[in-house]
Each structure stands twice: as C-alpha cells, then as structure tokens.
Amino acid sequence: MFTEEQKAIQDMAYDFAMSEMAPHASKWDAERIFPTDVLRELAALGFAGVYVGEEHGGSGLSRLEAALVFEALSAGCTSTAAYLTIHNMASWMIDSFGNDSQRAKYLPPLMRMDMMASYCLTEPDSGSDAAAMRSRAVREGDHYVLNGGKAFISGAGQSDLYVVMVRTGDDGAGGVSCFLIEKDTPGLSFGANERKMGWNNQPTAQVIFEDCCVPVENLLGNEGEGFKFAMKGLDGGRLNIAACSLGTAQRAFDKALAYAGEREQFGSKISDFQAIQFKLADMATDLQAARLMLYDAARALDANDPDRTKRSAMAKRFVTDTGFNVANEALQIHGGYGYLQDYEVERMVRDLRVHQILEGTNEIMRVIIARHLLNA
C-alpha cells in the first residue's frame, strides 16, 4: 500500500512521538504546558510544512503522507499533533494563495516554527454558519481597519501569525476576505485562556479586533476570496484531524489490548472472556475501516478528484466518530483504572471528543455529504 519512503516517514514520526512526546503528554495536559521546544524539533524534521512546497522551505509531501505523519504523531500527544495540523493548514494557505512577497516573508520562519500560526474562522455567533461572520475590515488608505472577534482559536495568544477570515463586502460567502495578521499588530488582543475538557496543553482563546490596523499588503489573494480559501484549507484540515483521531484511537486500543492480556478477574485474564474478545474485535475492525476511508480521501485530495470535498467530509465524520468510540471502549476495558489519569486513556478520550466538533461539526459533515449527493 505504501512505498518504502512513505513507511520511513511514518516510522520517523512515530519514533519521535514515542520518545519525545508520549513521556511528557500527561504532564503537558495536567500543567497546561504548550511545548514550543518540541514543536520546533518537529519543524526541524520537516513537519511544520508537510505539504508546503519544497521551493518555499516545506517538505512538499502529499496529503496521504501528511495523514501518515499526523496519525503517527498523535500516538504521542493528540493535542500537540493537532496544533501542528493547524499550523500546517495556515502555512499551506500562504503557500497556495499568497504572493511572492508574502511567501518570502512568512514561510521561512513558519517552516522553522520560529513563527507559529493559527487559523481564525469561527466567531461567537457564527460557528457552523461560518459565512454569517460579522467581523469586518474597512479599507482606509494603505490599511484595513478590523473590528470584531474570533472564538475557540487554537494557539491564540501564543501564535505569532493569524490567518483571519473577515467580511470586506456584502453578506454571504462572497463578501469574505482573508488577512495575515501578526501578533503585535495594534488593535489585536486576546481573551482569557479557555478552560476545556481536553486539548489542555495548547491555549484556546478569543482573538479580538478593536480598530486593528492591518497593512493592505497583508490581504491574502483578493477581496472576496477568503471564504473559498478557508474551505479549501478545511478539505485538508479535516483529513489531518481525522488522522489525529485515528492515531490516538490506535494507541488507546493498543493499551486496552495489552491490559486485557494482563488483568485477571474470576481466576482468568479478562482477554479470555468472549465479551472482551468481541469488543476488541469490533474495535480493531472499526479502526481498519476508518484507516482505509482516511487514506482513500487523502488520495482523492491529492488527485484533485471532483468528489474530494465530499470524501473529506465522509472521512472526517466517520474517522472522528470511530476514534472517540474506540477510545471510550478502551477506557471501559480498563474499568475503574481507565478513569484514572495514571492510565492515560482518559486523557485520550477527553482529547478526542472535540474532534467531532472542530473543522466543521460532524452534523455539518452530513450536510456537506448530503448536498453533494442530492446535487450530483
């Protein structure tokens, strides 16, 4: 199914995850530590711009290879791998839609993660209905003046660059533009770090614009193209977050399988009980189905298949639902111990829950799928 080079890339990512991420993930979660040093080590391996072009300092890999990388990294720490996917998506948008000056200015530090990036689409009053955003930019001479705010932004306050969708024109998707906004831009501020169920080692906060002055040259593409850019970014972003679900769920399954072979009740290992055997069999089957769907959707995106958006939505819906369910079953197999932080599976369950919400809720994935089916 994969070339030797692709296997080597995934093995390198997995080895790093097990040696440099997994031993620290529980502490990062408990103490809300954002591991910038580890992220820069990942950048040194080429993982800050997995599918950014080599001519701009990226690794120039395919979306399938990106899925393999993020699947492997998430086995070490879901939240850290997930932030890295967001950084990759934001960097790819600059690579794909930016001009030569923007690429030259931003991509080299982004590829080293000397500069870290966040993606800003969701607003407090426009989550699933993203095109209803109210944040607005008005041009005044050589600047745009932005007012409004974004919600649930991963990396807010820590990231150095924000890829932001705001309204410059009429209502609807066609009135949205995309801007590159640096952290120290006058008028840009951040809300308090949100207290979350999971993803605790990366900050999440509101991004607030109060007469925020952004130079005209920081407009990505042309006015009115922002929503199109955002949706193209999400086709890949949905696969990335699905890959993180798959890698984490596989790790939870491996822990449950090992535990079932060690834990004894009623004079036997619990793996001898058919109830546990069937549960493990279903978990393994579901993981394999999710893996195949993810890889198929990634290949479709690489091939620019006409059904790529539908297949990305299908994969995101199925893989993130499966990932959460498998991790939850892994916790159940651990019994009371699974509920304890010492056994790590509870953290995986907490981290995976949000994957069914972000990058478009799984209900919105169904809307996208149905729309493609009915309008075919």
Q: Which domain holds residue 85?
A: 4-116
The tokens for 198 are 């999971």
**β-bridge partners, 181:** 162
Provide the pLDDT for residue 13: 98
* Domain identity same for 215 and 231: no
Which residues have C-beta within 8 Å of that of residue 251, sequence separation ≥ 6?
74, 75, 348
Residue 128 pLDDT class (50, 70, 90 cuts): confident
Q: Which of 207, 223, 239 is the last residue of a domain?
A: 223
Render 244-289 in DSSP notation, one character per residue: HHHHHHHHHHHHHHHHHTT-EETTEEGGGSHHHHHHHHHHHHHHHH
Identify the CA nearest to 59 among candidates 71, 47, 67, 70: 47
Other Cβ atoms closer than 10 A to 307: 12
Residue 366 and residue 249 share a domain:
yes
Pairing of strands 161-167, 117-120: parallel
What pLDDT score does 374 carry? 96
Span 53-59, average pLDDT:
94
Closest CA to 144 of 187, 206, 98: 187
Question: What CATH number should be reported for the domain holding residue 157?
Answer: 2.40.110.10
Which CATH number goes with the domain that contains 305?
1.20.140.10
Residues 309, 297: Cα–Cα separation, whole Å: 9
Which pLDDT belongs to residue 357?
Answer: 96
Tens digit of each residue's pLDDT (9 = 90 or more) over 315-357: 999 999 999 999 999 999 999 999 999 999 999 999 999 999 9
Examine the domain organization and report whether 161 and 285 are in the same domain: no
- CATH number of the domain at 44, please: 1.10.540.10
Structural domain total, the chain: 3
Q: Quick one: 130 and 152 in the same domain? A: yes
Contacts for 333-342 with beta carbons within 8 Å, 24 or more apart? 333/256, 333/259, 333/260, 333/270, 333/276, 333/279, 333/280, 334/255, 334/256, 334/259, 335/263, 337/259, 341/26, 341/30
Q: What pLDDT is attached to residue 127?
A: 79
Residue 242 and residue 360 share a domain = yes
299 and 187 belong to one structural domain: no
Give the distance, in angstroms, between the CA of residue 317 and the centroid of all CA atoms in the same chain. Answer: 14
pLDDT tens string 20-37: 999 999 999 999 999 999
153 confidence band (pLDDT: 50, 70, 90): very high
pLDDT surpasses 90 at 181: yes
Pick the range with the lowest mean pLDDT from 16-30, 124-138, 160-174, 229-243: 124-138
* Same domain (yes/no): 234, 370: yes
Which of 88, 116, 144 is the endpoint of a domain?
116
Q: pTM score, two decimals?
A: 0.96
For this structure, is 359 an active site residue?
yes
36-48: average pLDDT: 98
Model confidence at 10: pLDDT above 90 = yes
Q: What percent of the chain has pLDDT above 90?
A: 95
pLDDT of residue 130: 83
Which two structure tokens, joined as six digits, stand for 70? 């993020």
Helices (H), the chain: 4-16, 25-31, 36-44, 63-74, 78-97, 100-112, 226-260, 274-302, 308-334, 345-353, 362-374
- Given a cut of 90, whether residue 80 has pLDDT beyond it is yes
Measure Cα distances from 138 to 144, 150, 208, 211, 230 in Å.
Answer: 5, 17, 16, 10, 20
According to DSSP, residue 194 is labeled P
Residues 111 and 150 in one domain: no
Same domain for 122 and 190, yes or no, is yes
Residues 255 and 345 in one domain: yes
Share the mean pLDDT of the chain: 96
Pair (295, 316) in one structural domain: yes
pLDDT, residue 132, reads 87
Q: Which residues contact 151 (CB under 8 A, 6 or more apart)?
A: 122, 123, 124, 127, 206
- Contact between residue 179 and residue 134 where contact means Cβ atoms under 8 Å apart: no
The predicted-structure confidence for 355-370, as pLDDT tens digits, reads as follows: 999 999 999 999 999 9
Cβ contact 342:335 at 8 Å: no
Question: Of 41, 182, 359, 363, which residue is the catalytic one?
Answer: 359
Q: Mind listing the pLDDT tens digit for each residue in 228-262?
A: 999 999 999 999 999 999 999 999 999 999 999 99
pLDDT at 358: 93
* Percent of residues, the chain, with pLDDT higher than 70: 100
109 and 20 housed in the same domain: yes
Q: Which residue among 190, 223, 256 closes a domain? A: 223
Q: What count of other Cβ atoms lies within 10 Å of the Cβ of residue 47?
A: 29
